[in-house]
Amino acid sequence: MTNVMFYVSLGCFGFLVVHLFDVISLKRLPAIKPITWICGSILLVYALARLSLNVEKLAMPGWTGWLGWWVFSFSFLLLIFALFVNLPFRKTYVDKGVGDQLITTGLYALVRHPGVHWFSLALGSLLLISRSSELLFAVPLFILLDILLVVLQDRFFFARMFPDYDSYRKTTPMLIPNWQSIRAFMDSLLAYRAKKQIRRKQWKLLSS
Protein backbone atom coordinates (compact mmCIF):
# COMPACT_ATOMS: atom_id res chain seq x y z
CA MET A 1 0.00 0.00 0.00
CA THR A 2 2.95 2.31 0.71
CA ASN A 3 4.20 1.92 -2.87
CA VAL A 4 0.71 2.59 -4.22
CA MET A 5 0.40 5.86 -2.33
CA PHE A 6 3.91 6.88 -3.38
CA TYR A 7 3.20 6.46 -7.09
CA VAL A 8 -0.26 7.99 -6.81
CA SER A 9 1.28 10.98 -5.04
CA LEU A 10 4.00 11.13 -7.70
CA GLY A 11 1.35 11.20 -10.42
CA CYS A 12 -0.57 13.95 -8.62
CA PHE A 13 2.65 15.94 -8.28
CA GLY A 14 3.24 15.47 -12.01
CA PHE A 15 -0.20 16.97 -12.67
CA LEU A 16 0.63 20.00 -10.54
CA VAL A 17 3.97 20.50 -12.30
CA VAL A 18 2.28 20.34 -15.70
CA HIS A 19 -0.25 22.96 -14.64
CA LEU A 20 2.50 25.28 -13.37
CA PHE A 21 3.00 25.75 -17.09
CA ASP A 22 0.20 28.37 -17.11
CA VAL A 23 1.83 30.39 -14.32
CA ILE A 24 5.19 30.29 -16.09
CA SER A 25 3.55 31.36 -19.36
CA LEU A 26 1.99 34.38 -17.66
CA LYS A 27 5.30 35.25 -15.98
CA ARG A 28 7.01 35.00 -19.40
CA LEU A 29 9.88 32.92 -18.03
CA PRO A 30 12.11 31.66 -20.89
CA ALA A 31 13.49 28.09 -21.08
CA ILE A 32 11.55 26.97 -17.97
CA LYS A 33 8.31 26.76 -19.95
CA PRO A 34 9.08 23.58 -21.98
CA ILE A 35 10.99 22.02 -19.07
CA THR A 36 7.90 22.32 -16.86
CA TRP A 37 5.43 20.39 -19.01
CA ILE A 38 8.06 17.83 -20.06
CA CYS A 39 9.08 17.05 -16.45
CA GLY A 40 5.47 16.94 -15.26
CA SER A 41 4.50 14.60 -18.09
CA ILE A 42 7.45 12.29 -17.35
CA LEU A 43 6.47 12.07 -13.68
CA LEU A 44 2.86 11.25 -14.56
CA VAL A 45 3.77 8.65 -17.21
CA TYR A 46 6.30 7.01 -14.87
CA ALA A 47 3.73 6.82 -12.06
CA LEU A 48 1.14 5.30 -14.41
CA ALA A 49 3.66 2.76 -15.70
CA ARG A 50 4.60 1.65 -12.19
CA LEU A 51 0.97 1.39 -11.12
CA SER A 52 0.15 -0.61 -14.26
CA LEU A 53 2.82 -3.21 -13.44
CA ASN A 54 1.13 -4.24 -10.20
CA VAL A 55 1.16 -8.03 -9.81
CA GLU A 56 -2.34 -8.10 -8.29
CA LYS A 57 -4.64 -8.34 -11.29
CA LEU A 58 -8.38 -7.75 -11.49
CA ALA A 59 -10.57 -10.57 -12.76
CA MET A 60 -11.68 -9.43 -16.22
CA PRO A 61 -12.72 -11.25 -19.43
CA GLY A 62 -9.94 -11.75 -21.96
CA TRP A 63 -11.60 -9.50 -24.55
CA THR A 64 -11.27 -6.44 -22.29
CA GLY A 65 -7.55 -6.31 -23.05
CA TRP A 66 -8.18 -6.05 -26.80
CA LEU A 67 -10.88 -3.44 -26.20
CA GLY A 68 -8.46 -1.53 -23.98
CA TRP A 69 -5.76 -1.43 -26.67
CA TRP A 70 -8.25 -0.22 -29.29
CA VAL A 71 -9.65 2.53 -27.05
CA PHE A 72 -6.15 3.50 -25.87
CA SER A 73 -4.85 3.89 -29.43
CA PHE A 74 -7.86 5.98 -30.44
CA SER A 75 -7.92 8.19 -27.33
CA PHE A 76 -4.13 8.66 -27.15
CA LEU A 77 -3.95 9.84 -30.77
CA LEU A 78 -6.80 12.30 -30.18
CA LEU A 79 -5.14 13.50 -26.97
CA ILE A 80 -1.91 14.19 -28.88
CA PHE A 81 -3.91 15.94 -31.60
CA ALA A 82 -5.84 18.09 -29.12
CA LEU A 83 -2.75 19.21 -27.20
CA PHE A 84 0.03 19.31 -29.79
CA VAL A 85 -1.55 19.57 -33.27
CA ASN A 86 -4.78 21.52 -32.87
CA LEU A 87 -2.79 24.02 -30.79
CA PRO A 88 0.29 25.63 -32.40
CA PHE A 89 3.10 23.63 -30.78
CA ARG A 90 5.95 26.14 -30.70
CA LYS A 91 3.89 29.16 -29.63
CA THR A 92 2.03 27.15 -26.99
CA TYR A 93 4.78 25.02 -25.46
CA VAL A 94 8.16 26.52 -26.35
CA ASP A 95 8.13 30.28 -26.97
CA LYS A 96 8.19 32.69 -24.04
CA GLY A 97 4.82 33.97 -22.82
CA VAL A 98 1.40 32.85 -24.01
CA GLY A 99 0.27 32.06 -27.54
CA ASP A 100 -0.70 35.02 -29.70
CA GLN A 101 -4.17 33.68 -30.50
CA LEU A 102 -7.00 31.76 -28.88
CA ILE A 103 -7.72 28.52 -30.75
CA THR A 104 -11.48 28.00 -31.12
CA THR A 105 -11.56 25.61 -34.08
CA GLY A 106 -11.26 21.85 -34.43
CA LEU A 107 -11.75 20.01 -31.16
CA TYR A 108 -11.78 23.38 -29.37
CA ALA A 109 -15.00 24.29 -31.17
CA LEU A 110 -16.62 21.28 -29.53
CA VAL A 111 -15.58 22.01 -25.92
CA ARG A 112 -13.07 24.33 -24.27
CA HIS A 113 -11.01 21.49 -22.78
CA PRO A 114 -11.14 18.48 -25.15
CA GLY A 115 -7.98 16.96 -23.68
CA VAL A 116 -9.91 15.93 -20.56
CA HIS A 117 -12.10 13.49 -22.50
CA TRP A 118 -9.26 11.75 -24.32
CA PHE A 119 -7.03 11.65 -21.24
CA SER A 120 -9.85 10.07 -19.23
CA LEU A 121 -10.50 7.48 -21.95
CA ALA A 122 -6.78 6.71 -22.17
CA LEU A 123 -6.60 6.13 -18.41
CA GLY A 124 -9.69 3.93 -18.44
CA SER A 125 -8.32 1.87 -21.31
CA LEU A 126 -4.99 1.51 -19.49
CA LEU A 127 -6.92 -0.07 -16.64
CA LEU A 128 -8.49 -2.57 -19.07
CA ILE A 129 -5.10 -3.39 -20.59
CA SER A 130 -3.15 -3.82 -17.35
CA ARG A 131 -6.01 -5.06 -15.10
CA SER A 132 -4.04 -3.49 -12.27
CA SER A 133 -5.87 -3.25 -8.95
CA GLU A 134 -3.74 -0.22 -8.10
CA LEU A 135 -4.95 1.64 -11.19
CA LEU A 136 -8.52 0.97 -10.08
CA PHE A 137 -7.79 3.39 -7.25
CA ALA A 138 -5.52 5.78 -9.15
CA VAL A 139 -7.51 6.31 -12.38
CA PRO A 140 -10.63 7.94 -10.83
CA LEU A 141 -8.38 10.12 -8.65
CA PHE A 142 -6.30 11.29 -11.62
CA ILE A 143 -9.41 12.03 -13.68
CA LEU A 144 -10.97 14.07 -10.86
CA LEU A 145 -7.70 15.94 -10.35
CA ASP A 146 -7.48 16.69 -14.07
CA ILE A 147 -11.02 18.09 -14.08
CA LEU A 148 -10.31 20.17 -10.95
CA LEU A 149 -7.15 21.67 -12.43
CA VAL A 150 -8.94 22.41 -15.71
CA VAL A 151 -11.68 24.24 -13.80
CA LEU A 152 -9.00 26.32 -12.06
CA GLN A 153 -7.35 27.03 -15.42
CA ASP A 154 -10.64 28.11 -16.90
CA ARG A 155 -11.58 30.29 -13.95
CA PHE A 156 -8.31 31.99 -13.04
CA PHE A 157 -5.79 31.76 -15.89
CA PHE A 158 -7.17 31.64 -19.41
CA ALA A 159 -9.08 34.93 -19.23
CA ARG A 160 -5.76 36.59 -18.29
CA MET A 161 -3.91 34.78 -21.07
CA PHE A 162 -6.40 35.43 -23.89
CA PRO A 163 -8.45 38.67 -24.19
CA ASP A 164 -11.24 36.90 -26.12
CA TYR A 165 -11.63 34.04 -23.66
CA ASP A 166 -14.75 35.44 -21.98
CA SER A 167 -16.65 35.50 -25.28
CA TYR A 168 -15.32 32.01 -26.11
CA ARG A 169 -16.61 30.83 -22.72
CA LYS A 170 -20.10 32.11 -23.60
CA THR A 171 -20.30 30.26 -26.92
CA THR A 172 -18.47 26.99 -26.17
CA PRO A 173 -19.19 24.62 -23.23
CA MET A 174 -16.35 23.64 -20.93
CA LEU A 175 -16.61 19.84 -21.06
CA ILE A 176 -20.03 18.66 -22.27
CA PRO A 177 -20.82 19.44 -25.95
CA ASN A 178 -24.17 20.93 -26.92
CA TRP A 179 -25.86 21.18 -30.31
CA GLN A 180 -24.41 24.61 -30.96
CA SER A 181 -20.85 23.46 -30.29
CA ILE A 182 -21.34 20.29 -32.36
CA ARG A 183 -22.45 22.44 -35.31
CA ALA A 184 -19.45 24.73 -34.79
CA PHE A 185 -17.16 21.69 -34.73
CA MET A 186 -18.62 20.34 -37.98
CA ASP A 187 -18.34 23.78 -39.61
CA SER A 188 -14.67 24.00 -38.61
CA LEU A 189 -14.04 20.57 -40.14
CA LEU A 190 -15.69 21.64 -43.39
CA ALA A 191 -13.68 24.88 -43.41
CA TYR A 192 -10.46 22.93 -42.84
CA ARG A 193 -11.32 20.55 -45.67
CA ALA A 194 -12.06 23.47 -48.02
CA LYS A 195 -8.72 25.12 -47.17
CA LYS A 196 -6.93 21.84 -47.78
CA GLN A 197 -8.55 21.48 -51.20
CA ILE A 198 -7.58 25.05 -52.11
CA ARG A 199 -3.97 24.42 -51.09
CA ARG A 200 -3.95 21.21 -53.12
CA LYS A 201 -5.19 23.07 -56.21
CA GLN A 202 -2.61 25.82 -55.68
CA TRP A 203 0.14 23.22 -55.38
CA LYS A 204 -0.99 21.55 -58.62
CA LEU A 205 -0.94 24.92 -60.41
CA LEU A 206 2.56 25.68 -59.14
CA SER A 207 3.89 22.26 -60.05
CA SER A 208 2.33 22.20 -63.53
CA distances from 81 to 37, 94, 129, 155 (A): 16, 17, 22, 24
Whether residue 41 is contained in a domain is answered as no
pLDDT at 101: 80
Whether residue 183 is contained in a domain is answered as yes
pLDDT (tens, 9 = 90+) of the chain, 208 residues, equals 567 889 999 999 998 898 888 888 877 777 788 888 899 999 999 999 999 987 778 888 888 889 999 999 999 999 999 999 999 888 888 877 676 689 999 999 999 999 999 999 999 999 999 999 889 889 999 999 999 999 998 998 888 888 889 999 999 999 999 999 999 999 988 887 777 776 776 676 666 6
Say how far apart CA 179 and CA 87 lie, in whole Å. Answer: 23
Tell me which residue range forms the domain holding 85.
Answer: 59-207
Q: Report the chain's terminal Cα–Cα distance, integer Å.
A: 67
Whether residue 168 is contained in a domain is answered as yes
Whether residue 53 is contained in a domain is answered as no
pTM, two decimal places: 0.85
The C-alpha torsion from 88 through 166 and 36 to 1, rounded to 10°, is: -120
Whether residue 114 is contained in a domain is answered as yes
Whether residue 80 is contained in a domain is answered as yes
Say how far apart CA 66 and CA 54 lie, in whole Å. Answer: 19
Say how far apart CA 160 and CA 98 lie, in whole Å. Answer: 10
Report the number of distinct structural domains present in the chain: 1
Whether residue 134 is contained in a domain is answered as yes
Whether residue 121 is contained in a domain is answered as yes
